[in-house]
Amino acid sequence: MSLLSISDQEFDKFQQLLKQLAGIHLSPAKKPLVVGRLGKRLQLGQHRSFGDYYQHLVSAAGKDELNIAVDLLTTNETYFFREHKHFDFLRDTILPAHRRGTVFRVWSAACSSGEEPYTIAIILADVLGEGAWEIVASDLSGRVLERARTGHYAMERAEKIPKHYLTQYCLKGVGAQEGTFLIDRKLRDRIRFMQINLNNQMPKLGEFDVIFLRNVMIYFDLETKRQVVARLLPMLKPGGYFLVSHSESLNGVSDVLKPVMPSVYRKP
């Protein structure tokens, strides 16, 4: 067997490990993903096989490597203004109804490398300006959170940002930083990035007006979805909005949240 192939038995072990640690179900179709994302780690650690690498991950000496492996297997592609109808709804429907004088709070609960919370911040800054608002952005992956905190991206990542927002809230890199852009510090300072595993007990974060939980539940089985949503519900204010991705639904997951439109729900 070549180094960069994985047997069914080895894949089963990684499948069970990711389910235990992150609540994510890896279907057999994800075998190439496991090989592609972890292959370099095998070579770097000079492991003979995926079985050998797995034994290292679950050993006392493999704790740091385990964090890296989970990061690599759970990080998903994202971009600014992804599924833009949600941000239109935030700007045009949710925010105009917000009672001034209270802090408007949003949780981006699967924020990946930061494009989602920074998009939210752009909308809140545009509508609420210097008013009272804040964002909590969390992810399982410490590696992508480090990147997200910088607010620094390659210029091609700006493709979906409307030009007037790009001019107002982003700084174009010059010199050694040419070809990149930086999210304005006024927005970066409004976001608190935190490492949170949605399959564990939630930290005390207070209540939110809006929770974004997008493009993550597609990796959970039905029971895990129910448990995750049940953990988050107490943190959503009455009347607050819960947003999932356009490819996801809460049918059979929660009967507490009421549908407003596809992928948008509200807590009575």
- Return the active site residues: 37, 139
Element (H, E) at 164: helix 163-169
Tokens representing 243 are: 């947003």
Distance of alpha carbon 163 from the chain centroid:
25
CA 148 – CA 203 distance, rounded (Å): 20
What residue spans of 27-162 are helical by DSSP H? 31-45, 50-57, 63-74, 84-89, 115-128, 142-150
Residue in 107, 72, 93 with CA at minimum distance from that of residue 234:
107
Residues paired with residue 192 on neighbouring β-strands, in sequence order: 136
CA 40 – CA 44 distance, rounded (Å): 6
SS3 assignment, position 265: strand
CA 75 – CA 110 distance, rounded (Å): 10
Handedness of CA 140, 142, 147, 151 (dihedral sign): positive
Token look-up 């207070």 returns 206
